[in-house]
């Protein structure tokens, strides 16, 4: 491999990128758009859940319970109903995600030491959201029930009563339980996968469509020099986009960065090599810019979005899908990003993921090199 020929190919590709305003627009705007769109648009935090309240008793105790819901950051009472049909209408219309109905004998049963049931109606069209809403509601009621029980036992002369079991939770790595800290590191992988594969998928296909492939084939440049020379500019652009996304994540969204920059750089470089080789291979096989761009988006965006652990936990997927995710490089890169950003995981504990990225990059690069032949047919 001759360096002067490789540098000439890289210089040619850089000039092509600068002349192609569409490619420049993608390089500059897509990271910003994706970071802002997903950073603000995707929010898994359940707060200010709309609640309909129906107090059938109207006592001090029942109002005290409803005030617990109003005081919680997770709930917002948007309707106070005076009949049961109004409660049903609020849930069916979507105005309320949760309805709390206090029975007419609520305070009487509490005063006598008997258990009192509070009805909670949850809109379960979103089952995951419904489970969270129920968990929050049960926590509010359990806190109130513990206080009521303590007061009742005090009236019975049992002032030394203590709860036999208590959970003291400690949240690590994402102390405020902010979904953006979980989502935004994965957006870096999404941006790099889309940009890397999409732009390189046009390189060889562009040569075929513009009729310049004949000139390229007639030169003494080897196929390895062609591939490396064409991918070097996009590799540099990919690292710059990674740095841009990282600055936005830390500086704009306030996501913590607790790991080592060298780990981020190494993992990003390995992941980039894999997606660039994937895009180059697609470009060689399709020989059409339209087909290549579509194939690149489908083969990178969907796996990186659905099967990488970016939004959906891989452990909750069926066993067959979990096996498929093992050949998705974004899975390993997303795990590294979350470890580097949130946990500060040392490189030694990420060696398995780094090795997987390196193997994928080597395989794809080898496949891309063998797929390209310096001939017209």
Does residue 373 or residue 364 have the better pLDDT?
364
Does residue 253 or residue 166 have the better pLDDT?
253
Q: Are residues 123 and 8 in the same domain?
A: no
Provide the residue range defining the domain that includes 295. 3-43+178-371
Q: What is the pLDDT of residue 219?
A: 74
pLDDT in tens, 251-288: 999 999 999 999 999 999 999 999 999 988 888 888 78
* Distance (Å, whole) CA 375 – CA 246: 42
User: Which of the 8 DSSP states describes residue 162?
Assistant: -
SS3 content of the chain, % helix, strand, coil (to 5): 65, 5, 25
Q: Are residues 214 and 361 in the same domain?
A: yes
Q: Are residues 138 and 281 in the same domain?
A: no
- Asked whether residue 354 carries a pLDDT value surpassing 80, the answer given is yes
Task: Place 325 in a pLDDT band, splitting at 50, 70 and 90.
Answer: very high
pLDDT in tens, 85-102: 998 899 999 899 999 999
The β-bridge relationship of strands 49-55 and 75-81 is parallel
168 part of a folded domain: no
Q: Are residues 134 and 269 in the same domain?
A: no
Of the listed ranges 26-35, 210-219, 282-291, the one predicted with least confidence: 210-219
Q: Are residues 228 and 307 in the same domain?
A: yes
Q: What is the pLDDT of residue 161?
A: 56
- Asked whether residue 164 carries a pLDDT value surpassing 80, the answer given is no
146 part of a folded domain: yes
Query: Helix axis angle, 3-19 relative to 223-247, nearest 10°?
Result: 50
Q: Are residues 205 and 148 in the same domain?
A: no
Q: Are residues 234 and 311 in the same domain?
A: yes
The alpha carbon of residue 353 and the mean position of all alpha carbons in its chain are separated, in whole angstroms, by 18
* Distance (Å, whole) CA 267 – CA 264: 5
State the chain's mean pLDDT as an integer: 85
How many domains, the chain?
2
Tokens representing 246 are 């990282």
34 part of a folded domain: yes
- At residue 55, what are phi and psi to the nearest 5 degrees? -95, 105
* Distance (Å, whole) CA 130 – CA 311: 18
pLDDT in tens, 101-143: 998 888 888 877 778 888 999 998 888 888 889 989 988 888 8
Question: Domain containing 58 — which CATH number?
Answer: 3.40.1710.10
DSSP-based three-state secondary structure for 201: coil
Task: Specify whether the CB–CB gap between 300 and 278 falls below 8 A.
Answer: yes
- Asked whether residue 153 carries a pLDDT value surpassing 60, the answer given is yes
Q: Are residues 200 and 323 in the same domain?
A: yes
Q: Are residues 210 and 344 in the same domain?
A: yes
Task: Specify whether the CB–CB gap between 192 and 51 falls below 8 A.
Answer: no
Match 């049963």 to its residue by tokens: 109
Q: Which residues contact 369 (CB under 8 A, 6 or more apart)?
A: 223, 224, 227
């Amino acid at each position: 491999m001759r360096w002067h020929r490789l540098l000439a190919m890289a210089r040619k590709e850089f000039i092509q990128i600068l002349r192609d305003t569409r490619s420049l627009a993608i390089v500059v705007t897509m990271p910003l758009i994706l970071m802002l769109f997903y950073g603000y648009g995707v929010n898994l935090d359940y707060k200010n859940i709309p609640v309909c309240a129906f107090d059938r008793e109207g006592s001090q105790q029942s109002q005290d319970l409803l005030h617990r819901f109003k005081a919680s950051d997770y709930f917002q009472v948007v309707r106070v109903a005076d009949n049961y049909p109004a409660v049903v209408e609020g849930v069916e219309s979507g105005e309320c995600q949760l309805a709390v109905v206090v029975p007419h004998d609520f305070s009487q049963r509490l005063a006598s030491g008997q258990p009192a049931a509070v009805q909670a109606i949850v809109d379960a069209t979103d089952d995951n959201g419904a489970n969270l809403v129920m968990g929050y509601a049960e926590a509010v009621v359990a806190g109130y029930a513990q206080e009521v029980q303590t007061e009742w036992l005090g009236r019975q002369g049992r002032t030394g009563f203590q709860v036999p079991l208590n959970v003291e939770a400690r949240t690590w790595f994402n102390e405020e339980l902010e979904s953006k800290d979980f989502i935004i590191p994965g957006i870096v992988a999404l941006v790099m996968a889309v940009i890397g594969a999409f732009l390189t998928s046009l390189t060889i296909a562009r040569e075929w469509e513009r009729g310049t492939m004949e000139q390229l084939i007639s030169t003494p440049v080897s196929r390895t020099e062609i591939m490396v020379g064409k991918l070097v500019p996009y590799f540099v652009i990919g690292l710059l986009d990674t740095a841009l996304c990282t600055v936005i994540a830390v500086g704009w969204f306030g996501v913590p960065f607790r790991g080592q920059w060298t780990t981020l750089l190494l993992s990003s470089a390995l992941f980039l090599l894999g997606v660039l080789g994937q895009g180059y291979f697609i470009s060689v096989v399709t020989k059409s810019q339209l087909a290549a761009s579509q194939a690149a988006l489908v083969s990178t965006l969907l796996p990186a979005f659905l099967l990488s652990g970016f939004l959906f936990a891989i452990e909750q997927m069926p066993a067959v899908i979990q096996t498929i995710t093992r050949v998705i490089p974004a899975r390993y890169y997303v795990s590294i990003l979350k470890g580097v950003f949130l946990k500060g995981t040392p490189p030694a504990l990420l060696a398995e993921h780094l090795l997987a990225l390196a193997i994928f990059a080597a395989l794809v690069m080898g496949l891309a090199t063998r797929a390209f032949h310096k001939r017209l047919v």
